[in-house]
Structure 1
């Protein structure tokens, strides 16, 4: 397979003016000014040679502005009207600069009626579409709109799948790579929103008007709060009276014009084909002739000697603090990372005075990147006491700031430490600064702890989520596995971290972290921040190289603060209602036990798999018993359901009912009462962004995602989740989203037509499968629709439908006959996963299946079933995550910022809002959910949303 292509696009105009202002006036033997030409030549020489030697780009072009106007002048005749004419001695150098570029045998692009930025954007888009990575050599803020763009995977002209390339920038003056985090640091928004910020603030250099009185900070704040330029303009009438509100309303048309002016044109015809931009060794003869003609003797000597132009090497990676080597990729066009020094815990500092704390804060501001961690008294972020905070600025460059250390009683010695309120007041500007990237491991926990102390941390990178987006499911080859810090440290850094048990003990001898001596606490806490910093440096570059940047930056990373806020909101539960349910369940469980004893002919421990197996298969003589290695019968749910479906094993049916009731009682009606937070009176579940391999969120402590949906018991439990007085709960649910995605991804015309027409999809399937629609055929069609997407076997389908395996196989065959696209999708998916080792969602999320080619048929079949469903279920998860990220800004723009998003359960979002706002909020919520895939993914089917509301969750669902 052809190696990855990497195109460098040099903003030549920026080079010209930098060269002109850096060097004193010079003339050539003919008396022509050539100072800018000389500077441009040395800069271009160094760039081309350094990048070629570093095996960086495969292709390169220099883009220049052609003299004259562009199409923007027709849009706005004052565009660039304020620009002064070029200096008199620079004008005659422009033609020579073009000659210099051609002397290097480098492609030169300049076109009429468009600007260099437009040509750069057009080349970048086409190259990324062909699967090439693109680096723009410039620091122009307008071009930062392109950073992080990744082309969609697609099928190329030769029929092979093409993985889209991505775009970044390189500022050679600062030796700094500019990627999405750097753009966010500069503008406070993602690259796709930079144009919206520029449209509000305007540009005096290009005479882009913007809105008078709005500067960079206000522009950024407006876009952050309202999600887009149009969102800010739409929200203006609802803003408090003042100059800002008036300006937004009165100058809205000028802002929209400015947005069009800063929008880059990405569809310009390419005057030179991409393949013609291939970079090779620079031929000497034409360059030597040019250098000689203009009297550049020192450069000519270096050319003859084969030496490069003077100055430091052009850096291919971001500039970092002096103690931090620049990151690089493990393979491809990037060089290997230099080894980091071994962890030295003795190097960490315990910060116990205001002066030292201010010193670390100043260094963190200068570094623009800091890893952080909190030490607390509990794993429950909503109840934990804050013991301290650790910071890291590089390998072994870390500290611990104790804030709550001291003994358990009033006579214990309290060590010297900065007062908690004082320290947090000093740390707040750093932790909230848009100019400093904060790096955490499971940062959501730390965000919640600090938010309870009035510190709203951001922007944040999370190494746990970066690891998940790179290696979800990738466990067997030692590259993937779990995503906890200790495991990541061992795997990626070869370092074993201190454990909590080593520091605090265990069992009855365990002490709170606040009682740990400061020397040991510093070693443990600062190491966490240090390791997190190292993991970030190791893992973050892999995102771009392994095509994971898009799913991380556009799906998972923006979700961190959203989910954290949902956890802090929590949801109210009716304790009395839960207590009554627990009592009712206890009576029902007792009655079931007596029935089971009667059917078994004796009393036994129903919860004991061994005793139950002996009763079912030895005493009662039911068929189908299988003993495992332990010598006891298996009595899992599948076994019991198989016995129950035969109709002759009523004891199995009763045991299943007993298990469900017992689980619901212990997991929900009992546990939810204990989970009520005494301070808030609400239950605060914890969501994991890495808990499900396909990308779905999982819920723990308590788990709110396994409450039965369609049973009476499940409804009763949901009725215990209630709204505050005067409020209601609103539930918005994607309708059959996985079937809709299957219709799109498998390209099934009949299913797409049915969804577009709003038909009952199960009825349509029943008609296709059985030729008639009634309650029985629709029910069977529904089972088949979902089962096929999960790669079910003939035996599995037979068990669900209560038919023979041959009948089940005939149904599967009939399904594939009626919907051949599904068969093609399954075949293509499995072939791809077997070849690559992973599946992908429409948004690029990878799920690894290391056992897809296993020799063990059971392992292989299990991986195949999961691989069939992962792209569909993962895409569904990505879509609802995107909806969650967009929901807050959309509601705020509609004047509904007080609407709270509380829960995410599979395909459903639950909100709490004043009863009178349901009519206004429902269409906003529906629109955000329906359009969540756009603009990254356009679907051939509409996303249906079902919305209900009521005083409790059961009534709303």
Structure 2
């Protein structure tokens, strides 16, 4: 299978581009592929959010001069007249999806996009008509859809773009999937029919047979007229018996390309949306997080002062002397400011000292104002109220006392997907269009500070989130040194392993194929090699070749499956880690500077990106080799401190598991202790210890016996027996699990040992799958969240006490410090004392200390 490369797409950008969107097809894909978001009033909006988000992303990266969104009318059409049973067996759509039809139409209108729908025809017919009518040497038509029927339209000037895969589809893709080129697809679909639309086709003829027949005879008409010549008896009989049915099916599948409706190409010219209508839509459906992308896409501002609601509100001052204004801020003891940043430069500042008095500084005035404000910004006697303090520190490194409303919002509800200033203004202040941004910051600060007190989250923000900003900012700025020569060598080594594995795979397969193509691999394994016992088909009709399937095959002795798993392993290491890291190393310093996010997880965990250093493999040999590229600068060493068994110790503390407490206090191997509890005293078998370890951690994550059976490689009956024995051995854990689920059902959230709230969405859902997922989250969140809080507190305390050296990396439960060689022992001792003393749990926390010249060559330090 081959997708069109982006460079090939660029070749047609000199032409006018007409984007045609299959509205409901796109919505359906977004609904099923993305999280099911709801507004605060419970209205489903996830599909519409996905539709807008992906469409804007497409428009940002692919030029569009004209755009049309095509809807189905929802009523019967000419195909029902031809065949009354058409689409008769379709199940009713989910209620949450149906309720998004109307908001989708509102979205399209609010974005200023022309739409079409024509009575007695389907959206596919209208799309086909638009494509046929306007595709030419001067106009390139791009159809955004995942509907296979529309692949018929593909041609020199009509492209198909799959919105979820984010890929242009090519002729090769159609041939790979259907066995024929796009111009012959109609005849293949006529033979196969379509069960989802109740199109009959010819019984017993699938895609492979249909493609073979069409390729052999040239067309459906020729196949039917030469049916007597078809060798396979059953196929020949079916074609003769159901010839009329095949022709009917072709009429049903065929796209009408001359549907009549008003309008010429200019009707679909891309235009700017009406800001007031668009803002009202975003407010109504609580989609303010999309504002930034909309502004970027249309090159407009949705925060103009004249849109500020509220009678009698004073306009922002643009003429007051900045020095005099700053003096007032100093007298009040408060400076709220919001910076608009583009390409790393502040081009506008909105500042205020209360809810009514504000000043806006733009353009050349910004630098002068920043110079005048530097002393106040660094002062601890004037409180700065900002949004995203860590970003502000990039421009004001000496930022003094501050409050960050973004982190206040995160502390109040870590699970919220919108901590933008616009989203918070709507949620907490009911402001529609917060143009007076600095005054909005002052208002939010007062409201959210009180809410932190009422929700007993004051300490979470003031003792964990706010102090951590400075720590993470410094870590980002310092970065970590990378030995690029090691990475280059690894890239070459991995490339060699990939090529070697490909040769072995081709030898085992007996042919060459695209190893990266799941479809080609599936056909090879389950059709050509006949490994049907492990075959699992996905809704698309292709075989699943995920890691789970390949691992099962490898365990059965299928060598090619094992080789493909290794090929994927090396391919991912090379592309995702080694080559990506090489691109992100700063040439001058040879250091890489990751970006830490404080608001990305629901449990309080920190995440990193550009690069994501938290996902570098830990246990594999290759992962260790990659870590060896992270080195200490000359004259320094890296000191690592990693919490040992922290999550199990937290479980022991929260659930009051006496057997765990005793085992940890006596220094016993907790997994061997569990193995002996389940399998009998005196057990020393490493395999049984491995199973016990899987159970220990599986229980924390709410794993079912079914999941445990798959994870450990045992029968479901054995897994059920192990879990039952586990709960008999540790009844406190079972009691904790039931109690925490009941608490979450009653209050909608759980809490960590530090008081952080973890909201549990869907805990009272009537859908078993949704409720089961939520129950597992309720069990795990207090443990994961407490572990996150422990690490955050450790980072804050260590940074405050570290006199030499610097924290340069945080990955899961591990901290990495770069320190001069002469201070290694002192810093190692300090790290152990600080990190083990963070929390007074009933089970003492322990850290393992390692020292080395690189992250991947740490020697355990026993002397501390």
The alignment's TM-score, normalised by the length of structure 1, stands at 0.55
| Mapped pair 1:744 → 2:657 | no
| Mapped pair 1:880 → 2:791 | yes
Please give the secondary structure, in 2, of the residue aligned with 1:912: strand
- The answer to whether the 8 A contact 1:343-1:396 is kept is no
Shift of 1:647: 2.3
Q: Partners of 1:540 and 1:637 in 2: how far apart?
A: 47
Change (3 A) 1:859 1:657: farther
Change (3 A) 1:647 1:439: farther
Residue 378 (structure 2) aligns with: 432
Please give the secondary structure, in 2, of the residue aligned with 1:347: coil
Q: Give the alignment of 1:511-660 within 5 angstroms.
A: 527-620=436-529, 621-644=531-554, 646-660=555-569
Residue 483 (structure 1) aligns with: 419
Residue 396 (structure 2) aligns with: 450
Q: Partners of 1:789 and 1:674 in 2: how far apart?
A: 38
Residue 904 (structure 1) aligns with: 810
Q: Partners of 2:848 and 2:619 in 1: how far apart?
A: 15
Residue 842 (structure 1) aligns with: 753
Change (3 A) 1:704 1:618: same
Q: Give the alignment of 1:41-440 within 5 angstroms.
A: 342=310, 347-350=315-318, 356-378=321-343, 384-395=344-355, 397-402=357-362, 405=363, 416-417=364-365, 420=367, 422-440=368-386
Which structure 2 segments of 5+ residues have no match?
1-307, 860-864
| Mapped pair 1:952 → 2:841 | no
Aligned-residue CA RMSD (Å): 2.5
Q: Partners of 1:806 and 1:920 in 2: how far apart?
A: 53
Q: Partners of 1:360 and 1:678 in 2: how far apart?
A: 43
Shift of 1:903: 0.8
Change (3 A) 1:745 1:366: same
| Mapped pair 1:790 → 2:701 | yes
Deviations 1:584-630 (A, max 9, x none): 11221222233333444443333344444444444443445444444
Change (3 A) 1:693 1:617: farther
Deviations 1:649-686 (A, max 9, x none): 43333333223322222222111122123454311111
- The answer to whether the 8 A contact 1:547-1:844 is kept is yes
Match of 2:773 among 838, 859, 862: 862
Change (3 A) 1:635 1:852: farther
Residue 59 (structure 2) aligns with: none
Residue 838 (structure 2) aligns with: 932
Q: Partners of 1:639 and 1:836 in 2: how far apart?
A: 40
Change (3 A) 1:446 1:724: same
Residue 229 (structure 1) aligns with: none
Q: Partners of 2:317 and 2:582 in 1: how far apart?
A: 43
Q: Partners of 1:653 and 1:735 in 2: how far apart?
A: 32
Match of 1:890 among 801, 816, 822: 801
Q: Partners of 1:942 and 1:743 in 2: how far apart?
A: 10
Please give the secondary structure, in 1, of the residue aligned with 2:321: helix
Q: Partners of 2:587 and 2:674 in 1: how far apart?
A: 51
Shift of 1:550: 1.9
Shift of 1:715: 0.3
Q: Partners of 1:862 and 1:687 in 2: how far apart?
A: 28
Change (3 A) 1:551 1:576: same
Deviations 1:268-288 (A, max 9, x none): xxxxxxxxxxxxxxxxxxxxx
Residue 139 (structure 2) aligns with: none
Shift of 1:345: 11
- The answer to whether the 8 A contact 2:309-2:433 is kept is no
Residue 441 (structure 1) aligns with: 387
Please give the secondary structure, in 2, of the residue aligned with 1:887: helix
Q: Partners of 2:652 and 2:724 in 1: how far apart?
A: 18
Q: Partners of 1:577 and 1:873 in 2: how far apart?
A: 34
Shift of 1:913: 0.3
Q: Partners of 2:311 and 2:518 in 1: how far apart?
A: 48
The alignment's TM-score, normalised by the length of structure 2, stands at 0.60
Deviations 1:766-814 (A, max 9, x none): 2222221222222222121111111111111111111111111111111
Q: Partners of 1:759 and 1:359 in 2: how far apart?
A: 67
Q: Partners of 1:634 and 1:862 in 2: how far apart?
A: 23
Please give the secondary structure, in 2, of the residue aligned with 1:464: helix
Shift of 1:924: 0.9
Q: Partners of 1:923 and 1:555 in 2: how far apart?
A: 23
Change (3 A) 1:624 1:356: farther
Change (3 A) 1:904 1:557: same
- The answer to whether the 8 A contact 2:309-2:432 is kept is no
Deviations 1:469-504 (A, max 9, x none): 21222xxxxxx4332334334444455669xxxxxx
Change (3 A) 1:575 1:398: farther
- The answer to whether the 8 A contact 2:709-2:716 is kept is yes
Change (3 A) 1:652 1:433: same
Match of 1:703 among 595, 603, 612: 612
Deviations 1:852-877 (A, max 9, x none): 12222222221222221111111111
Change (3 A) 1:614 1:437: farther
Change (3 A) 1:584 1:854: same
Q: Partners of 1:692 and 1:432 in 2: how far apart?
A: 31
- The answer to whether the 8 A contact 1:375-1:386 is kept is yes
Shift of 1:823: 1.0
Q: Partners of 1:793 and 1:803 in 2: how far apart?
A: 13
Residue 808 (structure 1) aligns with: 719
| Mapped pair 1:466 → 2:414 | no
Match of 1:826 among 722, 737, 746: 737
Change (3 A) 1:831 1:349: same
- The answer to whether the 8 A contact 1:344-1:396 is kept is no
Shift of 1:558: 1.3
Residue 58 (structure 2) aligns with: none
- The answer to whether the 8 A contact 1:441-1:485 is kept is yes
Please give the secondary structure, in 1, of the residue aligned with 2:365: coil
Change (3 A) 1:601 1:837: farther
- The answer to whether the 8 A contact 1:471-1:481 is kept is no
| Mapped pair 1:765 → 2:641 | no
- The answer to whether the 8 A contact 2:484-2:582 is kept is yes
Deviations 1:697-720 (A, max 9, x none): 111111000111111011001000
Deviations 1:39-64 (A, max 9, x none): xxxxxxxxxxxxxxxxxxxxxxxxxx
Q: Partners of 1:835 and 1:630 in 2: how far apart?
A: 40
